[in-house]
């Protein structure tokens, strides 16, 4: 999978902005200070990755806003998909969807032309703040016995919807048929990583 | 003005979290990517300052959440005060209120015991992202002729409400009468800095 560089950077940057928005919305909605602090770490990490990608676009002499603009609508659609009924669902939504999409973009980055591939993969692999989010979700799950089955169900819906977005994001190489042939093994990997994330929370995937 | 160290750190940390929430709420609400990007810088800067203060509390062997908790309610009240009718009012609200309160906490930091004063003042003085917010507000003001008078009025209301919060925050030395005597010259300084900020936007204060 060899995506074109600029569309890749634009999509990845929009995605990180979206992750920032999703996490920071939870920070603003939750009254508990400890939860605010934990989730704010995830928001900050997404913002750092966004800024790294924007800096890369600028370094190439391109205008980040122009490069990101074509993907703003897809991103907004994803936002509707991952927002849950309460903050616990929304937090799982962000954790599951952006975990999956980050993995996907890291795989895409490996196919980038030039020396930027490894750098992009590294930039997207910084998972600062993820531990704090996992702790918050585990604590919520321990406090409410009805939550595991609810979140497990929500997680299954999320993964389906997120993969649809991932498929749309894949069509950046200009060769759709070729993409489709190559996506199968990647999907298997993504699902395996997703299953590990759900396991970490004590949820069935 | 010699505030006690831990309540100072708790209040300052809560305040920065509040600034993060105010700016990031605007990021989520505004559809324009360029504005999102600019305001996200202010959100990120507030989060960095918050994390610096939390790290300082932890370094002293205290629990950041316990230290911040007593001030969470005052903070929530401020949040109601600075949220405007649209994102332009809310952005001016955040810029004016946190500009004023940051100045105030920098002054308070100067009176802190030990070597932490200058370090706290430095930490609170990092204004990354402020330029971007000023640019966004100036562009909005240029595009809408009805905006300057509206925002000028809103700014006057904000400064009054924010100073009430600042006065409440001042009562950390345990000697209210003494505080009140000392606050006058500080208020004059704060208002002068506020007037400069409004001038920068082309707004009368």
B35 → chain A, closest CA residue = A65
Task: Collect all residues of chain A within an 8 Å Cβ-Cβ radius of residue B47.
Answer: 40, 43-44, 47
Assign B174 to helix, strand or coil: coil
Identify whether A205 is part of a domain.
no
Q: Which CATH number characterizes residue B47's domain?
A: 1.20.1260.10
Query: What pLDDT band is residue B163 in, cutting at 50, 70 and 90?
Result: confident
Yes or no, beta carbons of B17 and A36 under 8 Å apart:
yes
User: Nearest Cα to B166, choosing from B6, B15, B2?
Assistant: B15
Identify whether A137 is part of a domain.
yes
Identify whether B84 is part of a domain.
yes
* Model pLDDT, residue B9: 92
Yes or no, beta carbons of A48 and B44 under 8 Å apart:
yes
Average pLDDT, chain A: 87
Contact between B90 and B26 under an 8 Å Cβ cutoff? The reply is: yes
* Model pLDDT, residue A59: 92
Contact between A13 and A102 under an 8 Å Cβ cutoff? The reply is: no
How many distinct structural domains can be found in chain A? Answer: 1
Q: Which residues on chain B place their C-beta less than 8 Å from a C-beta of chain A?
A: 14, 17, 20-21, 24-25, 27-28, 31, 33-34, 36-37, 40, 43-44, 47-48, 50-51, 54, 64-65, 68-69, 72, 76
A58-67, pLDDT tens digit by residue? 999 999 999 9
Identify whether B205 is part of a domain.
no
A12 is in which domain, residue-wise? 5-200
Candidates A21, A33, A65; nearest CB to B34: A65
Identify whether A88 is part of a domain.
yes
What is the average per-residue pLDDT within B142-160? Answer: 92
Identify whether A70 is part of a domain.
yes
C-alpha dihedral, A61 to A64 to A70 to A71, nearest 10°: 130
User: Nearest Cα to A40, choosing from B78, B56, B76, B47?
Assistant: B47
* Model pLDDT, residue B177: 63
Task: Collect all residues of chain B within an 8 Å Cβ-Cβ radius of residue A25.
Answer: 24-25, 28
Candidates A14, A27, A48; nearest CB to B21: A27
**Distance, in angstroms, between B205 CA and closest chain A CA?**
30
C-alpha to C-alpha distance for B21 and B94, rounded to whole angstroms: 10
Candidates B31, B47, B69; nearest CB to A44: B47
A29 → chain B, closest CA residue = B21
Report the phi/psi class of residue B114: left, alpha or beta, with left for phi > 0 and alpha for psi in -120 to 50.
Answer: left
Q: Roughly what angle, to the nearest 10 degrees, separates helices B147-170 and B72-82?
A: 170
Rounded to two decimals, the ipTM of the complex is: 0.85
Contact between A55 and A46 under an 8 Å Cβ cutoff? The reply is: no
C-alpha to C-alpha distance for B4 and B172, rounded to whole angstroms: 6
C-alpha to C-alpha distance for B45 and B132, rounded to whole angstroms: 12
Identify whether B20 is part of a domain.
yes
Q: Roughly what angle, to the nearest 10 degrees, separates helices A33-59 and B5-29?
A: 60
Identify whether A9 is part of a domain.
yes
Q: Which of B9, B15, B22, B40 to mutate to test the interface with A (most CBs of A within 10 A)?
A: B40
pTM across the whole model: 0.89
DSSP B179: H
B27 → chain A, closest CA residue = A21
Alpha-carbon separation of residue A8 from A53, A56, B171 (angstroms): 10, 11, 52
B59-116, pLDDT tens digit by residue? 999 999 999 998 888 777 888 889 999 999 999 999 999 999 999 888 888 888 778 8
Q: Which of A15, A33, A38 to mutate to test the interface with B (most CBs of B within 10 A)?
A: A33
Alpha-carbon separation of residue B29 from B24, B35, B42, B97, B148 (angstroms): 9, 10, 15, 20, 22
Yes or no, beta carbons of B54 and A40 under 8 Å apart:
no
pLDDT of A76 above 80: no
**Distance, in angstroms, between B169 CA and closest chain A CA?**
19
* Model pLDDT, residue A171: 61
* Model pLDDT, residue B62: 96
Task: Collect all residues of chain A within an 8 Å Cβ-Cβ radius of residue B25.
Answer: 24-25, 28
């Amino acid at each position: 999978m060899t995506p074109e560089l600029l569309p890749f950077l634009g999509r990845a940057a929009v995605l990180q902005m979206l992750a920032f928005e999703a996490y920071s919305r939870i920070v603003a909605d939750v009254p508990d200070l400890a939860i605010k602090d934990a989730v704010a770490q995830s928001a900050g990490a997404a913002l750092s990755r966004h800024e790294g990608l924007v800096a890369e676009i600028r370094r190439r002499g391109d205008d980040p806003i122009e490069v990101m603009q074509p993907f703003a609508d897809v991103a907004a659609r994803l936002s509707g998909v991952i927002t849950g009924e309460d903050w616990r669902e929304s937090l799982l939504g962000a954790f599951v969807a952006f975990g999956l999409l980050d993995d996907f973009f890291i795989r895409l980055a490996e196919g980038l032309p030039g020396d930027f591939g490894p750098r992009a993969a590294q930039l997207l692999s910084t998972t600062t703040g993820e531990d704090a989010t996992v702790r918050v979700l585990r604590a919520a799950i321990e406090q409410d016995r009805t939550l595991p089955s609810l979140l497990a169900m929500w997680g299954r819906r999320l993964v389906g919807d997120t993969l649809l977005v991932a498929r749309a994001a894949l069509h950046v190489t200009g060769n759709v048929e070729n993409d489709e042939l190559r996506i199968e093994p990647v999907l298997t990997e993504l699902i395996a990583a997703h299953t590990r994330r759900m396991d970490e929370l004590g949820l069935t995937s």
